[in-house]
Amino acid sequence: MKKFNINSLVRKNIVKLQPYISFRDHNEFNAPVLLDANECPFGEFNRYPDSSQKKLKNKLASLKNLSPAQIAIGNGSDELIDLIIKIFCEPKKDAILMMNPSFAMYGFYAAVNENEVVKLDLDENFEIVKDDFLKVTQERQIKIFFLCSPNNPTGNSVKDIEFFIQNFDGIVVIDEAYIEFSENRSGIELLAQYPNVIVLQTFSKAWGTAGARVGTAYASEEIIRFINTVKAPYNVNTLSQELILNLLEDENKLKENVENVLKEREWLKEEFKKIDCIEKVFPTDANFFLIKMRDGKKVYEKMLEEEVLTSQRAPAIPNCIRINVGTREENEKLINVLKGIAS
């Protein structure tokens, strides 16, 4: 196991910070009279949510074969990304490293925190060039490396993730928002071996609950303790916690969603081969495709006219559009619109 002194990576003021602790949530009562939190005594959802998300963490711990103390729950993965940067990166001093192209919010939250964003350009197949990675990490002092796998917006998974963990002296965040659609193993399996790794997952994609805004971080107990210290006291509402808990009781829900998406993904992949305006469909391990069009601007605007909403990736990735997998009805409309666009 690679040894890390996590405290040496954390901002000094965060190390000294005392967390907000809800007395109610950290004690057990039989029939308490709740007069401690200035709540209204009337209403269906008049009480604050469990600030420590005990039930949800216990359920996830049993599913992931981890301790509840290795799990943090966020208001979406975005909140967790923001917190991780705040914990480890000193404003105006530290830098983060991210793949380019990749999920824009890594750079956004770093910029909000006044941290430099170093971008590692991917090759023509959207893979990391190891020599470029070694060069930039040797030349620059970087605190956090964000690895999005499968990567948004390219769809492919990062190869040989352990190489990057072993050759980086800071915090490695593996963002697995789309892992359920991939055949690759989760980075959660690496946590026991690498104490500097944080794995992010979400209920927004495969679980079909983007509106609930629930994300999860898995890491060492030490790192999770810092996340729980910095997070807002009641960051995940009661309705969202209950919704996710109910979902986790249904073992078939996730399987059904993933199977349906993968079935439609394969159908779309075959249909795309028949479309003249498409130049290339990149390999994907996610629930979306990155597609290079012969005239990306024209195709995007034509789809928009037909109210088929997609994600234009130009100018960062010229002529490319990201299109996620929908229902068969939605996918058929997409294909019909594309077929009507002359190349």
> pLDDT (tens digit, 9 = 90+) per residue, 287-328?
999 999 999 999 999 999 999 999 999 999 999 999 999 999
pLDDT of 342 strictly over 80: no
- The mean per-residue pLDDT over the stretch 22-51 comes to 91
pLDDT of 23 strictly over 90: no
Helix 238-249 vs helix 251-272: angle between axes, to the nearest 10 degrees?
Answer: 80
Q: What is the residue-averaged pLDDT of the chain?
A: 95
In this prediction, residue 276 carries a pLDDT of: 94
> What percent of the chain lies above the pLDDT cut of 70?
99
Report whether the peptide linkage leading into residue 153 is cis, meaning its omega lies within 30 degrees of zero: yes
| Alpha-carbon gap, residue 173 to 109, rounded angstroms | 14
Q: Which one-letter DSSP state was computed for residue 112?
A: H
Q: Which one-letter DSSP state was computed for residue 250?
A: -
- The mean per-residue pLDDT over the stretch 249-258 comes to 92
Paired sense of beta strands 278-281 and 215-218, if any: unpaired
Cα angle 330, 331, 332; round to 5: 90
Helix (H) / strand (E) containing 304 = helix 296-305
Whether the CB-CB separation of 277 and 293 falls below 8 Å is answered with: yes
pLDDT of 251 strictly over 80: no
Residue with tokens 């308490």, as numbered in its chain: 32
In this prediction, residue 28 carries a pLDDT of: 86
pLDDT of 108 strictly over 90: yes
Distance from chain centroid for Cα 29: 36
pLDDT band at residue 2 using 50, 70 and 90 as cut-offs = low
| Alpha-carbon gap, residue 192 to 148, rounded angstroms | 20
CB atoms within 10 A of CB 154: 27
pLDDT of 343 strictly over 80: no
In this prediction, residue 106 carries a pLDDT of: 98
| Alpha-carbon gap, residue 68 to 56, rounded angstroms | 9
pLDDT of 24 strictly over 90: no
Q: What domains can you pick out in the chain, each with its CATH number? A: 9-249 (3.40.640.10), 253-339 (3.90.1150.10)
Summarised one tens digit per residue, pLDDT across range 192-230 is 999 999 999 999 999 999 999 999 999 999 999 999 999
pLDDT band at residue 152 using 50, 70 and 90 as cut-offs = very high
Closest CA to 289 of 276, 304, 271, 301: 271
First to last CA, the chain: 54
Distance from chain centroid for Cα 248: 19
Residue type, 275: I
Task: For residue 218, give both structure tokens.
Answer: 């898995």
In this prediction, residue 317 carries a pLDDT of: 97
In this prediction, residue 1 carries a pLDDT of: 53
- The mean per-residue pLDDT over the stretch 8-32 comes to 89
**pTM of the full predicted structure?**
0.95
- The mean per-residue pLDDT over the stretch 170-174 comes to 98
| Alpha-carbon gap, residue 278 to 271, rounded angstroms | 11
| Alpha-carbon gap, residue 343 to 331, rounded angstroms | 20
Which neighbouring-strand residues pair with 291? Answer: 281, 321
Task: For residue 277, give both structure tokens.
Answer: 């305006």
